[in-house]
Every structure is written in C-alpha cells, then in structure tokens.
Chain A
Amino acid sequence: MTQRQGKMDSGVIITVLICTALLVAIGAVLLVDATGRRGSGLSRVYELDAVRLASFDPNLILYHEVGPPIATGFERSRALALGANGRFYIAGDKAVHVLRDKGTLEQVIRLASEPHCVAVSAEGRLYVGLRDHVAVFDEAGQRIVSWEPLGERSFLSSIVVARDDVFVADAGHAVVLRYDKTGQLIRRIGEKDPDRDIPGFIVPSPYFDLAVAPDGLLRVVNPGRTRIEAYTFRGDLEFFWGQNSIRIEGFCGCCNPANFAMLPDGRYVTAEKGLIRVKIYDADGVFEGVVAGPDELVVGGAARVFLSVEDAEASGFDVAVDPDGRIFVLDTIENTVRLFVEREKG
C-alpha cells in the first residue's frame, strides 16, 4: 500500500482557517477602541492641560477654611451680602434667604423673578437687583418700592449701598448707575468718554461687580479688560489695576474677576470664574496671596472647570467680608456659604 505524501486533509485546512478567523476577530474586539475610553490619540499639542494651568505654589495660600459649609437652601445661588448682627443675605432661585451665622434660616423673602444681586443698608433695608430693576424691602421683608425698570437689555449684576447713594451695575448696558436712596437716578458712570479718558466697560458675560472702598471711591470691575477701576462718585476715573494672565498673579480668561469684596484695610478679595480661585491683592493691586484655589474650592479641582459652559457660568463665586476680615465665599456650584480665615503666621 502506498501513502500519498505532501497532501493535507481538507478538514484540517478548514479548522485552521476557522481558528485563524476567530483569533483575528478576538484581536479586533480587544484592540479596536469601540468605546473611546482610550482617548483620541492626539498629541499633547491638542490638549488644554487644566491641571498644569491651575497649579501654583501652595505656600501662597494664606487662608484656611473653618467649619462646615452652610447650605443656602437654593438650587441656584446668585449673590451674598453680609448684614448687621452676623446675618447672611443670600439671593437665589426666586427668593432671598436671611440666615443667622450658624446657618439657621431666619427669613424668606419671596420674589416674582430671579434675583441677581443683593445689598443691605446700615438701616437694615434690603436692596435686591432683579433682571431689570431694583426692589427695596424693609427689615421685616415687606416690599417698600420697586424702582423704574431699565429696559429689556438690562441685566443687573451687582448692587452696593453707600451712605446716601445706591450704586447698581448693569451688565446688559455695561454701565454703573448712581441712585439716591429714593430711587432717583443721579448719574451714569463708566460709559465710554474719550474726553474724560474713560475707556468704557467691556462686559462679555453676566459678571460685573462693584464696591465702595474705605477710601471713599467706587471700585468697579472692568471684566473684559481684566482689571478693577476706581471712580469718584461723580464718575471720574482715578486709576485702575489688574493684568490678564493665567498665572496666579493675574486674572485669567476673557472676563474676570467675576466678583470681589473690600477688606476693612482697603485690600481686595477677588473671585475668578472658569479657573476658580479666590485671592488677595493689596490696596495698590499688588498680588499678596491666595485664599483658596481650584483644589480647595471645587470637587474635581481644576478639571472641573472644563466640563461645560454651564459649569463655567455657575463658577462665578461671590465673596463677602465681615468687619473682622473673615472671608465668606458663596459656592454657587454646591450652593453653600464657606468661611475662610487667615492662617496664623509663624
């Protein structure tokens, strides 16, 4: 009997082919990134490295957080003001909540629309900035009067009460309005006027804050120029400071600082949106240090700022300062008030 050499059984060939096909299929399933979890594969030049951009020397942090955060009771908190006797006035949703210092809800003032800003006078009157007008309430929360609406384009973003005046920042019209306490408009401040060397405010997003400094001048953020400008009550521009930089010394992004407050000694507490950080500048605008950076302020730290534009818009934290120099931060993401005090030196 003779054997046929060099020939293979067709069954073996089919088995080998099927096995090879199976291996290729398994390899394809394992190697192909069907879910995208392995990333885009783009080089680093296509990445915006938020963590690197947000990093700064931790020795610059001069403050630390004290106590648990106080819940505002809002789904969307907007603004914070401090009143006498340790009361917090927090604007959000369609109300103003008045809280005691430990967070006890003392009073709820309901509103017909969303408030954007709030201020309290020395007499205890509450001035609430709604989209296009100011509403005034007495200490018991009863509405006294609503001022004249400012038109469809207006977006009131900040309000401050001085001794005889009320200053309102209208982000929609990029102007500061000076009123007397009866609601009579006295003056428009900060509109572009080359003859008076006033460049005009640039307000790309609805953050446009102001305060009255201990030196008696008005301070107004010019967000599009990332600086703070000082005006007399008559509307003369006296000086300005601030530089655009993502470095810790500067204000980052297109429009910052989002909010600020004045310490009793004339220093500034600034809050930036986007890359959320609260910092201290001296009375001349020289950077002193950090109250809290993204890692201290936001769950997820620097990476959080890049999730969506809603996150970025909600990241306009408000700040307020009490007579002892303690800094209260309104966390508009978690809807809480957080207290920061200066670290003991040495």
Chain B
Amino acid sequence: MPQRNDDVTRRRLLRDGLWGACLAGIGGVAGFAAHKGQKVDWLWQIDPYKCIACGNCATHCVLEESAVKCTHVYGICGYCEICFGFFDPEPLAINEGAENQMCPTGAIERKFVEEPYYEYSISKSLCNGCGKCVKGCNAFGNGSLFLQVQHDRCVNCNQCAIAAACPSQAFRRVPADQPYLLKSVDHV
C-alpha cells in the first residue's frame, strides 16, 4: 500500500507561498481600490448665520493648526476704506501698519482698487480661525467675512471636536458635493 507523502517539500512551499502572495496582492489591490472609490458622503461645516465667532474653532480642532479659516464673499463686501474686519476699532492711522490691524496674525491683506475702495483677502496660511475679524465685520459691516471648515485641511473626524465645543450649534454635516455653506447676498 502506497504511503502518502505529507512532507513539505521546497517546491511545494514555494508554489503555495506564491499562490498566497498572489491572493494577498489581489485582495490588497481590490481593498485599496474599494477604499479609494468609496464616497465620503458627509462633511462638517459651519452655518455662518449661526456662528457667533466665539474663538473655539481656533483651539478645539484636533489639528495643531485649525482646519477652520476665515472666508470672504466679495459679493457682500462693501469694499470699505475703513473696514472693521481689517482695522482695529481704534486705529492709530487708516493704513496697513501692523499696529492698525485687527487680525492678530496679520492674515487679512488689503489691496487698493480705486479711490476710495479696497479689496480684502484672507491668507489661509496665516489665519487661525479665531473669528475676531468676523465679529468686527458682522457688527459694523455687511458680514462678508465668516468662518468655514477648509476641507483641504479637515480630517473629517467622526465626531468633530469643534462641533462638540460650539456654543451656538453652528456645526452641521453637509453633503460632500456641497461642502461649503457660503453666505448669500440676498439673505439680509
């Protein structure tokens, strides 16, 4: 009676190992493709009409540099010479000197358009999302400055740490294909 040879030969080990590696590779590629193709359905965003610019966005984000930044809708802006989002409430002079600026990080840039109009833009790399300019613009201007979660930075935590710490419940989930909640000119 012939005996079964169950000993592991070198050839058999290599063959089975190769098959295993192939299967693992195919599984890995399929998994990676499935992961890449998976649509992120919902993202965190701030409702600008509920936000009170409390400052928590600057410090409660899990990222070292908050994913929340100031946004500017130019359609609402008055292009004011004396912009209370840009200038300190008691400026020494109406010019771009750092001592006259409201933003502690110098994130708002002011550009002359034509007398007496100026355009204001936000340097995302300098803005820390504190919302000080938003307060000034809401109170004294047209409210064209407001805070938004920047999705090139946000890691979309399951529970957003800033949303949990938002005293005005301004954070909400938005569809990924409409990731920003911008103010509209006709709202007020």
A contact residues vs B (CB 8 Å cutoff): 33-37, 39-42, 45-48, 50, 53, 202, 204-205, 224-226, 244-247, 252-255, 274-275, 305-313
Given contacts A246-B89, A252-B89, 20 further A-B contacts (CB under 8 A): A34-B164, A36-B165, A40-B54, A46-B58, A46-B104, A46-B130, A47-B55, A204-B142, A224-B78, A252-B140, A254-B80, A254-B142, A274-B140, A275-B140, A307-B52, A308-B52, A309-B49, A312-B138, A312-B141, A313-B188
Known contacts being A45-B104, A254-B82, A309-B188, is A36 close to B139, with CB within 8 Å? no
Q: How many pairs of A and B residues are in contact by the CB < 8 Å rule?
A: 122
Of all chain B residues, which has the CB nearest A205? B142
Asked if B49 contacts A40 (CB within 8 A), the reply is no
Asked if B82 contacts A226 (CB within 8 A), the reply is yes
Least CB distance, A172 to chain B, in whole angstroms: 12
Main secondary structure on A side of the interface with B: loop
Can you pick out 12 interface pairs between chain A and chain B where the beta carbons lie within 8 Å of each other? A35-B167, A36-B60, A36-B165, A36-B167, A40-B58, A46-B132, A53-B90, A224-B116, A254-B80, A255-B141, A307-B138, A313-B143
B contact residues vs A (CB 8 Å cutoff): 49, 52-60, 78-84, 89-90, 94, 102, 104, 116, 130, 132, 135-143, 164-167, 188
Q: Chain B residues near A37: list those with CB within 8 A.
A: 167
Asked if A202 contacts B167 (CB within 8 A), the reply is no
Asked if B139 contacts A253 (CB within 8 A), the reply is yes
Least CB distance, A231 to chain B, in whole angstroms: 19
Q: Chain B residues near A311: list those with CB within 8 A.
A: 138
Least CB distance, A132 to chain B, in whole angstroms: 15
Main secondary structure on B side of the interface with A: loop
Known contacts being A46-B130, A204-B80, A254-B82, is A312 close to B55, with CB within 8 Å? no
Of all chain A residues, which has the CB nearest B164? A34
9 tightest A-B CB contacts, nearest first: A204-B78, A309-B143, A36-B165, A253-B140, A40-B55, A254-B80, A274-B140, A46-B130, A309-B138
Known contacts being A36-B54, A39-B55, A40-B55, is A254 close to B140, with CB within 8 Å? yes
Asked if B59 contacts A40 (CB within 8 A), the reply is yes
Q: CA of A308 to CA of B51 in the docked complex: distance in angstroms?
A: 8
Q: Chain B residues near A305: list those with CB within 8 A.
A: 139
Asked if A275 contacts B130 (CB within 8 A), the reply is no
Asked if A36 contacts B130 (CB within 8 A), the reply is no
Asked if B140 contacts A40 (CB within 8 A), the reply is no
Of all chain B residues, which has the CB nearest A252? B140
Asked if B52 contacts A33 (CB within 8 A), the reply is no
Asked if A47 contacts B80 (CB within 8 A), the reply is no
Q: CA of A36 to CA of B52 in the docked complex: distance in angstroms?
A: 13
Q: Which of A45, A53, A253, A255 has most chain B Cβ within 10 Å?
A: A253
Known contacts being A40-B55, A254-B83, A312-B139, is A205 close to B130, with CB within 8 Å? no
